[in-house]
């Protein structure tokens, strides 16, 4: 696929060149998509500025910019410009829109572009940068999970990073959507978690504790960008039970105590990431308001605007999406559901480090290896189950971009299961290419 010498001696340069080439292909497909789009609601956005506005450009140029603002991107750009005006916009969190707004303000202050154009440009800059950084983070995670083997010995880190460039999330990792930023923060958290485990097992409690808290901080930030980041709490739950088991069987020590405390702190930071948008919304809709002006969700035991919006506006719930008319969407999502579930179950059934440097199938797998792999596999498995049973199932192809283990697993199977990996990679590429053209036309899958 890529010359072995480039892979070994210049892995990051090679990945960057592939990244630029792939993005260029997706951009050309998007710009070349015919028509203004099936849904013209994007044209209703109040894209008005001062010196250089989209609305003062020729219609052809306007439509080129607006091709990027489709589906969820409409909400993200609107929130970035005006805040959460409508209740249903709280389904999209506060992370991506806030970061986009900050960058857009900088672009406007530098007089690079005016306010209207700066929002779209800022969002796309953020998405592209975050995707590239997540590729780098996945490389490092693959390196850590390959037991620290150098990239000249194990091809897995490079392959996994390359697969993430070709993610089936496709154009959603380039457009004004939260997928790429979530992926970067999620993978950063996973890198910090695995690094923390390594430090603890080398009797370096201070470095391990700091890394574990950093993992929680990154995954908590990821949860601000996308609420499904909360599933990463399972990683810390597995880690906590593992430490408690060690304490019960081997006794309490300073190292184990620090490991348990840092794990609890890290896991709590993920919960904080979910709570921040809820508290903000509660202040807007519930606090200091008389009961007759309060929204229904304000008086619930757990007053969560997110669960209310998902249920009330988007009809998200257990088996609600299971209708005959949605069957094509389940078929479109089937490959992503399969690879997420199969890779997670395979590693949970036979936990092992993902290394091809030396065979490990016949070796005794340590409890550290089992805990680390299972802790990373559980959130991936659960997101697949939730997408199948409760979510709008087609979004799993883009949600999958934020879960690193399946990329690394697929990279490790290229020799032993060559046919399966080839089929999977071809599906990823074809799906992403088709998706780019459909996205520009405001057509499903979204």
User: Of 7-11, 16-20, 34-38, 428-432, which gets the smallest average pLDDT?
Assistant: 34-38
Binned at pLDDT 50, 70 and 90, residue 361 comes out as very low
CB contact at 8 A, 177 and 72: yes
The mean per-residue pLDDT over the stretch 426-445 comes to: 92
Q: What is the pLDDT of residue 355?
A: 47
Residue 53 covered by a domain: no
Residue 61 covered by a domain: no
Q: Which letter does DSSP use for residue 366 in this model?
A: P
Q: Is the pLDDT of residue 366 over 80?
A: no
Residue 425 CA to residue 423 CA, distance in Å, equals: 6
Total domains, the chain: 1
Which residues have C-beta within 8 Å of that of residue 289, sequence separation ≥ 6? 298
Q: Is 41 exposed, middle or buried (0-12, 13-18, 19+ CB in 10 A)?
A: exposed
Q: What is the pLDDT of residue 282?
A: 94
Residue 54 CA to residue 275 CA, distance in Å, equals: 37
Residue 432 CA to residue 426 CA, distance in Å, equals: 10
Which residues have C-beta within 8 Å of that of residue 425, sequence separation ≥ 6? 163, 166, 410
For 220, half-sphere exposure in the C-beta direction (CA atoms, 13 angstrom radius) is 19
Binned at pLDDT 50, 70 and 90, residue 356 comes out as very low
Q: Is the pLDDT of residue 58 over 90?
A: no
Residue 45 covered by a domain: no
The parent domain of residue 369 ranges over: 12-37+66-306+314-441
3-state SS, 215-262, equals HHHHHHHHHHHCHHHHHHHHHHHHHHHHHHHHHHHHCCCHHHHHHHHH
**What are the E-state strand segments in 66-221?**
none
What per-residue string of b and e applies to 260-285 under the rule 16 or more CB within 10 Å gives b?
bebbbebbebbeebbebbbeebbeeb
Residue whose entry in the numeric block shows the structure tokens 């009809």: 315
Residue 100 covered by a domain: yes
Q: Which helix (H) or strand (E) holds 138?
A: helix 115-145
pLDDT in tens, 224-261: 999 999 999 999 999 999 999 999 999 999 999 999 99
Residue 189 covered by a domain: yes
Q: What is the pLDDT of residue 48?
A: 43
Residue 42 covered by a domain: no
Among candidate residues 197, 201, 166, the one with its CA nearest the CA of residue 19? 166
Q: Is the pLDDT of residue 149 over 80?
A: no
Binned at pLDDT 50, 70 and 90, residue 359 comes out as very low
Residue 345 vs residue 49, higher pLDDT = 345
Residue 160 covered by a domain: yes
For residue 224 the two structure tokens come to 């601000």
Q: What is the pLDDT of residue 341?
A: 97
């Amino acid at each position: 696929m890529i010359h072995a010498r480039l892979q070994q001696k210049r892995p990051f340069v090679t990945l960057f060149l592939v990244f630029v080439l792939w993005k260029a292909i997706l951009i050309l497909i998007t710009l070349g998509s015919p028509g203004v789009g099936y849904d013209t609601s994007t044209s209703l956005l109040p894209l008005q500025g001062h010196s250089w506005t989209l609305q003062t450009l020729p219609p052809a140029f306007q439509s080129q910019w607006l091709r990027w603002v489709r589906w969820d991107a409409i909400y993200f750009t609107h929130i970035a410009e005006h805040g959460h005006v409508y209740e249903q916009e709280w389904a999209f969190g506060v992370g991506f829109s806030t970061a986009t707004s900050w960058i857009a303000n900088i672009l406007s202050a530098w007089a690079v572009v005016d306010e209207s154009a700066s929002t779209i440009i800022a969002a796309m800059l953020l998405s592209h940068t975050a995707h590239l950084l997540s590729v780098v983070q996945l490389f490092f995670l693959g390196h850590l999970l390959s037991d620290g083997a150098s990239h000249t010995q194990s091809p897995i880190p490079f392959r996994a990073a390359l697969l993430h460039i070709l993610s089936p999330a496709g154009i959603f990792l380039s457009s004004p959507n939260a997928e790429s930023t979530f992926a970067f923060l999620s993978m950063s958290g996973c890198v910090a978690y695995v690094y923390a485990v390594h430090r603890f097992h080398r009797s370096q409690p201070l470095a391990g504790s700091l890394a574990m808290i950093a993992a929680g901080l990154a995954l908590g930030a990821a949860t601000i960008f996308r609420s499904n980041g909360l599933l990463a709490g399972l990683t810390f739950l597995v880690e906590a039970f593992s430490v408690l088991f060690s304490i019960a069987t081997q006794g309490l020590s300073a190292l184990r105590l620090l490991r348990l405390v840092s794990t609890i702190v890290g896991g709590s930071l993920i919960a904080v990431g979910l709570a921040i948008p809820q508290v903000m919304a509660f202040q807007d809709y519930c606090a200091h308001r008389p009961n007759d002006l309060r929204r229904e969700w304000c008086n619930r035991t757990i007053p969560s605007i997110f669960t209310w919006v998902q249920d009330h506006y988007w009809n998200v719930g257990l088996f609600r999406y299971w209708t005959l008319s949605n069957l094509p969407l389940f078929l479109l999502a089937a490959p992503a559901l399969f690879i997420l579930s199969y890779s997670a179950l395979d590693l949970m059934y036979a936990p092992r480090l993902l290394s091809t440097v030396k065979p490990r199938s016949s070796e005794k797998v340590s409890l550290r290896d089992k805990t680390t792999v299972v802790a990373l596999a559980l959130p991936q498995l659960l997101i697949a189950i939730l997408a199948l049973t409760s979510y709008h199932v087609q979004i799993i192809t883009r949600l999958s971009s934020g879960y690193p283990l399946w990329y690394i697993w697929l990279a490790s199977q290229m020799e032993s299961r060559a046919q399966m990996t080839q089929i999977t990679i071809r599906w990823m590429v074809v799906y992403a290419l088709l998706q780019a053209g459909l996205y520009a036309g405001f057509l499903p899958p979204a």
